[in-house]
Structure 1
Amino acid sequence: MRQLIISVLLIAFANSVCFGQKINAAYRLPIQKAVSPITIDGVLDEKAWELAEVATNFFMITPMDTSYAQVQTDVRMTYDEQNLYIIVVNHHLMEGPYMVESLRRDFSFGKNDNFLLFMDPFDDQTNGFTFGANAAGAQWDGIMFNGGSVDLSWDNKWTSKVKNYEDKWIFEAAIPFKSIRYKKGIKEWGINFSRLDLKATEKSGWAPVPRQFPSASLAYTGILVWDNPPPSAGANVSIIPYALGGVSRDFESESGNIYRREVGMDAKIALTSSLNLDLTVNPDFSQVEVDRQVTNLDRFELFFPERRQFFLENGDLFANFGYSTIRPFFSRRIGLNAPIQFGARLSGKINKDWRIGAMNMQTGEVESDGLPSQNFTVLALQRQVGARSNITGILINKQSLNYDPDPKSEHPLYSQFNRNAGLEYNLASSNNLWTGKAMVLKSFGPDGTQEGFVHAANLKYASGNLSWNWQHEYVSENYTAEVGFVPRNGFYKISPTVGYRWFPKSEKILSHGPDVGTTFFFNTTGQQTDKIINAAYSVRWRSQSNLTVWMGHDFVRLQRPFDPTNFSGETLPAGSIHKWNSLGAEYNSKPQSLFTYSFSTRMGGYYADGDRFNISSELGYRFQPFVSIAMSSNYNRIVLPEPWNTTNFWLVGPRLDITMTNTVFFTAFVQYNEQIENINLNTRFQWRFKPASDLFIVYTDNYLPAPFYTKNRSIVLKFTYWWNV
């Protein structure tokens, strides 16, 4: 009851602060229809560009946010019936080569000289798209959600060109109206432009953004003013077929080669300019980069993000509900152990205030595991309230089809259904200083089983210097989200944090200051099970290198047996109490250097009055813009009493990125994971022969380290083609 009262107070307070005018409404860039054809060549020589209005006089975001930028950037935009065009002149402030990692798509923002466009075509300051490039021509595109978060896994059809000159580099792009979603008939879009120049160590934006927020913050966009409403995308249907061939072999089972010959198809149908229907038949995701292995010393399941393209557009409607460890829907549960046969998803804007998401996926039966065919349905409806806040309702259903579980079977038993229903209020004030949410969830299962309840809320304040956050959570014992990510249940959690930053007038230091946080867990009887106290101090230099030192205290009362090595099979008993102190540091070098490095370390106590020492590092070198090499390592030394004694875990591996052009990529990485006794090799070749159309060759090997024995091996050739009907 206490948590419900707190949430009601949060919502009442939110309603008092979330209304307001758009902050940067005075920054307006007129756009008019092109008077001449546009050729995407990185040359500013068309008549249409001569007549276009210029967005210039950018504001500095970092190192200071109180003056105009020193680096000059000039942006022009125009359009025709098919495309939105942008050309950007990025002037150099000082002599010297540009700084980039490689020509790899969706590059790391902070390690590349780059220009980015952020646009809010619904003018709701919450959802949008981003496009851009680094100074060597590598493309960047993603979908925006939650007021400024960016998902770079999203990929779509557009063209661009970067041309370098002695005193500047020019970025020119054509973005088809068919590739984005926008509200029909409105003449004002939210828009902002971001420039990062590593030589000058300066980040800037056209419409000013306070330095505590990312330049992607949609709360601080200016306005793109159309001379007429943007043209309709017309009949907007895209067919994306694929053909695949491959062979794999499991050497441990001594089975023969398994051959793959598959075809499938995706389709994207724009029902309106802002509402999209996605269809898929026999999808395959073999080209998606595999998850990087980690040393797992956690008591609970680890989270790995979704990268499959079909689940991404408007995916925040489903996947952003809840918190990082309370997600009622997690799309990676679909197709985890069974093939996806077909699926459909309707998502987008109904009007300015309402968004909808509806998804249905069907998986096939797996006889060897006794896994029945299953259907997954998710419905989400979101209503914007105030300036940037919203209320979202969600329904999730997982249903086993034609399934009659046999308790005597040697196969695992699967639930006949699992359902979740929830309601969430998301607060975002007009100036983004106040954010937060309050949510409730209820789960349902057959015969009254799996019925549980969740409540959680937080409120965050982030000014230029001070930031603080209050968060509390409750998850009942029987709450079950089979299509979600909820690694822990049966607890109450309270987690307040506070931080402060000073911004001195120094030629070397950008900011410095402390962060303090505590987290308390209690079981449903009120007994404390965990206590975590952390205190840290961070320093960020103007060169963008940064250092953090921290110290912490942990208290754990185990609720179930746990192996502190996640390796030996020997466990500590439930109910046992463990306390320890630890300290550590993290450092990242400046991104301007061809040679970069980072490290983190911790030392101190561990379970059972033991000790743990950890050091992680990454060394990188780039032969820009074509080759990037990185070597990562992670070492853990765990000293415990018998029967564990001393355990050492190494996780090491090099990564090689070769980008012959911005359409031809080769990536290879090797990882040696001592904890799971595995060596993994993964290589991927990609040729983007046309926008959003690709040829992939993916080769994977897994080995037993000693003796060097092949566990399994596979190679896949995949061809995809994006065809606009």
Structure 2
Amino acid sequence: MRSALTLGLLFLLYGVAFGQKINRSYRLHIQKAESPIMIDGVVDEQAWLDADVAKDFYMILPMDTSYSQVETEVRMTYDDENLYLLVINHHAVPGPYYVESLRRDFVFGKNDNFLLFMDTFDDQTNGFSFGANAAGAQWDGIMFEGGKVDLSWDNKWVSKVQNYDDKWVFEAAIPFKSIRYKKGIKEWGINFSRLDLKTTEKSSWAPVPRQFPSASLAYTGVLVWDEAPPEAGANVSVIPYVMGGRVRDFEGGTETNYQNRVGVDAKVALSSSLNLDLTVNPDFSQVEVDRQITNLDRFELFFPERRQFFLENGDLFANFGYETIRPFFSRRIGLDAPIQFGARLSGKINRDWRIGAMNMQTGRVEETGLPAQNFSVVALQRRVGQRSNIGAIFVNKTSLDYDPSQEPGAPQYSQFNRNVGLEYNLASSNNLWTGKALFLKSFSPDKSGHNGIHAANLRYSSGNLTWEWKHEYVSPNYTAEVGYVPRTGYYRINPSVAYLFFPKSKKILRHGPQITTSLFYNMDLEQTDNISMLAYTVRFRSQSDLTVWTGHDRILLQQPFDPTNFSGDTLATHTDHNWRTFGAEYISKPQSLFTYSLSSQFGGYYADGDRFNFVGEMGYRFQPYVGITMNANYNEIHLPKPWGKTTFWLVGPRLDVTFTNTIFLTAFVQYNEQIDNINLNTRFQWRFKPASDLFLVFTDNYLPAPFYVKNRTLALKFTYWWTM
């Protein structure tokens, strides 16, 4: 506790010490358009000739000490309805562009692209990102934590890309109703990012140090409005859906279940920066299934949220805590019970305050005796200094009309579980210092005492040196039924340090070592885990990467564990296991039509055993329309009896076809030997209007041998985004 308080005081000192916006001298003036704008990728309107121009971009990579050799020109204007963007991306060297496909929200490092980052609240923390690759695929996301982009967020906007021999032109119209911004504000934080894979240059208009992403809102320039942006006016969107489908459980021997569902979502802008989301009878059948992995871990695995309803301003709820200390995890809601209705309020109250409030109701499941449940979450965030903030959260799960004592022999569920938490997030104005201090406490009817958490970290990132100190304490009775806390009853110390060299070389961009260790202790301060690693990474100018590493693991088991997660035989509690591991990984350059990545590790394992692992991914694209990839993961484990030799294959071919930037077909197969299952998922999507879609989804699960269908699902879903 004393160390957590000490770090907390350090955070406050650092938060006060840094306070100026760095790139405030980079200013782009925007004025209202005097002529209509047609989104066609052609620079022929008078409004563009009259607009201010942002140019003379600075190089971020490979070096951040000069102007970019790749020329980029950006113009912006607006009218009563839309914010307009025009970008001329000049070629520095001849040759074709490089893109993955026409799929929305492409992988940044694998595409020639241009991105816009907007800090519409001028708080250097939250904002929006829009962009496109050189083939015209769109990119949009909501920004949080000063430089992260959640690409699961989609909204209504239109764009067009035109390719010429010496350049490609990107033109876009972003409705004011599609974004949130502070009313009356006349200066937004803004920056532009360009990645050109032919020259391997990443650049930005307002300079960004190479150790930070170009999305870093700490380094935005200023978009200066001639007058305050127009109010979006009445802003209500209604998004109904109709779904029809059939489900057949062959393994259970049940008859075909025909599903016909209707439901509706609604978005109500209570202000230009505060939004209310409503849903009745939601359906998420179009969401792509999770990518499977071979699970050799002792604890529950984490899979990200993909459902659209939970995503806008999702950082207010989901990012409270750390990766393995999350008091709220939205995937706990609705995956084992139908969601009947829900409401979600999120956004900015003013420049300094953000709020998130959610209430979701699920129905009773007769087959398992799961009662109807209500989930409520309230999160508040108050800005402190330039970029830091203090946050608070309350999470409540309640079972309705349920008394476990009256249902003997039935599965038992808790009557309620509650969590309260407080955290301080540090982010210095230059982003060199970041960190967090966190306190949590849970309340359950069957657990009292020893139900708290405190944790903190402090991180420093310069051009060459990065170091971090992190510690955690999770008490044995802490419970987060609507969260993700896979491990309880431990202390953890997790320091790390890395150093990068930037040689004057035509082939190597940077290289350097990294050391990290993770030490776990039980409540008696006896060490249970020591997971340490020394790695050396080389980044080539071609954008390929090579990493070699060695690790030491010491595990003192605190409960029985099956080292194969398959056989059912377990190692005994309090048995001590030590081993060393060696590994390497290589990721090929993204410019090639044929790309690949290879990684392997070999060394010891539990019970003086051995483990060999190989992971490979190969891909070929017929750009920009077709991409074919093959993933393979092989594990071979040698253990004493009763396990002996165990092997697991996980194989996943995938086909992506992007007929246009609005019509997509994805088909992939996952063969997982560990769970003895073959999964086939095919999804067709037609975005016939912005944010309005037709989906056709087919999913099969098979038993590999003898080969037969376990279950099969077919769903057809129609959604329409209607803005009032």
Q: Which interval holds the TM-score relative to the shorter structure?
A: over 0.9
Do 2:329 and 2:484's aligned partners in 1 also have CA atoms closer than 8 Å?
yes
Secondary structure of the residue aligned to 1:368 is coil
Match for 2:531: what amino acid? I
Counterpart AA for 1:454: I
Residue-by-residue CA offset, 1:678-720 (whole Å, 9 max, x unaligned): 0010000000000000000000000000111110001100000
TM superposition shift of 1:4: 3.3
Q: In the alignment, does 2:380 pair up with 1:381? A: yes
Match of 1:15, as an amino acid?
Answer: G
- Alpha-carbon deviations, 1:215-259, whole Å to 9, x = none? 000000000000000000000000000000000100011111001
SS at match of 1:246: strand
Could you give the per-residue CA deviations for residues 160-201 of structure 1, whole angstroms, max 9, x where no partner exists? 000101110000000000000000001000000000000011
Q: Which residue identity is paired with 2:709?
A: T
Letter paired with 2:14: A
Equivalent residue letter for 1:445:
S
Q: How does 1:598-613 map to 2 (within 5 A)?
A: 598-613=597-612
The answer on whether the counterparts of 2:386 and 2:428 sit within 8 Å (CA) in structure 1 is yes
Q: CA deviation at 1:448?
A: 5.0
Alpha-carbon offset, residue 367 of structure 1? 1.2
Q: Please state if 1:442 is matched with 2:441.
A: yes
Q: Distance in 2 between matches of 1:204 and 1:515?
A: 26
Contact persistence 1:237–1:269 (CA under 8 A): yes
**Structure 2 Cα separation of the partners of residues 696 and 3 of structure 1:** 52
Corresponding position of 1:513: 512
Alignment-derived partner of residue 156 in structure 2: 157
Q: 1:2 corresponds to which residue? A: 2
Alpha-carbon shift at residue 408 of structure 1 (Å): 5.6
2:695 corresponds in structure 1 to 696
Gaps of 5+ in 1: none
**Partner Cα separation in structure 2 for residue 240 and residue 581 of structure 1:** 54
Q: Hey, what's the Cα distance between the residues in 2 that align with 1:334 and 1:310?
A: 12
SS state at 2:495 partner? strand
In structure 2, do the counterparts of structure 1 residues 679 and 197 end up closer, same or farther at CA, with 3 Å as the change threshold? same
CA drift of 1:3 comes to: 3.1
Distance in 2 separating the partners of 1:413 and 1:259? 31
- Work out the CA distance in 2 between the residues paired with 1:693 and 1:709: 36
**In structure 1, what residue type is equivalent to 2:246?**
V
Which residues of 2 match residues 39-438 of structure 1 at below 5 A?
39-406=38-405, 409-438=408-437
Query: What's the CA shift for 1:449?
Result: 4.0
Q: Distance in 2 between matches of 1:4 and 1:661?
A: 53
Aligned 8 A contact 1:112 1:198 in 2: yes
In the TM superposition, residue 8 of structure 1 has moved relative to its aligned partner by 3.2
Q: Write the letter of the residue equivalent to 2:5.
A: I
| Counterpart check, 1:13 vs 2:13 | yes
Report the equivalent of 2:537. Answer: 538
The answer on whether the counterparts of 1:443 and 1:450 sit within 8 Å (CA) in structure 2 is: no
Partner in structure 2 of residue 620 of structure 1? 619
Q: Deviations over 1:86-129 (max 9, x none)?
A: 01000011111110010011000000000000000000000000
Q: Is the 8 A contact 1:407 1:413 kept in 2?
A: no
CA distance in 2, matches of 1:564, 1:127: 43
Q: CA deviation at 1:525?
A: 1.1
The correspondence of residues 582-661 of structure 1 with structure 2, limited to 5 A, is 582-661=581-660
Q: 1:549-560 residue pairs with structure 2 within 5 A?
A: 549-560=548-559
Q: What is the SS of the residue equivalent to 1:427?
A: strand
1:472 equivalent in structure 2: 471
Task: Measure the CA separation in 2 of the matches of 1:136 and 1:115.
Answer: 11
Counterpart of 1:248, as a letter, is: V
Question: What's the CA shift for 1:446?
Answer: 1.6
* Counterparts of 2:345 and 2:204, CA distance in 1: 34
Check whether the contact 2:15–2:427 (CA below 8 A) recurs between aligned residues. Answer: no
Q: What letter is aligned with 2:50? A: L
What is the identity, as a one-letter code, of the residue corresponding to 2:650? L
| CA–CA separation in structure 2 for the residues paired with 1:525 and 1:12 | 32
Question: Equivalent residues in 2 for 1:566-577 (5 A)?
Answer: 566-577=565-576
Residue type of the alignment partner of 1:48: A
CA deviation map 1:378-424 (0-9, x unaligned): 00111000110000011010011111113763332111100000000
* Counterpart Cα distance in 2 of 1:323 and 1:429: 19
How many residues get paired? Answer: 724
Cα deviations by residue, 1:331-372 (Å, 9 ceiling, x for unpaired) = 000002100000001111011000011100000010111101
d(CA) in 2 for partners of 1:719, 1:620: 32
Instruction: Tell me the TM-score normalized by structure 1.
Output: 0.99
Cα offset, 1:11, TM superposition: 2.7
- Of all paired residues, the percent bearing the same amino acid is 74
Q: 1:490-501 maps to which residues of 2 (within 5 A)?
A: 490-501=489-500
Task: Work out whether residues 557 and 576 of structure 1, in 8 Å CA contact, stay in contact via their aligned partners in 2.
Answer: yes
**What value does the CA root-mean-square deviation take over the aligned residues?**
0.9
Give me the TM-score of the superposition, normalised by structure 2: 0.99
Cα distance, 1:250–1:526 mapped onto 2, change above 3 Å: same
- Distance apart, 1:16 and its partner CA: 4.2
Task: Check whether the contact 1:451–1:480 (CA below 8 A) recurs between aligned residues.
Answer: no
CA deviation digits over 1:574-609, x for unaligned, max 9?
000000000100110000000000011100000000
1:23 corresponds to: 22
Look up the SS of the partner of 1:406 in the other structure.
helix
Q: Structure 2 unaligned segments of length 5 or more: list them.
A: none
- Tell me the amino acid that sits aligned with residue 657 of structure 1: D
Q: Is the 8 A contact 1:627 1:658 kept in 2?
A: yes
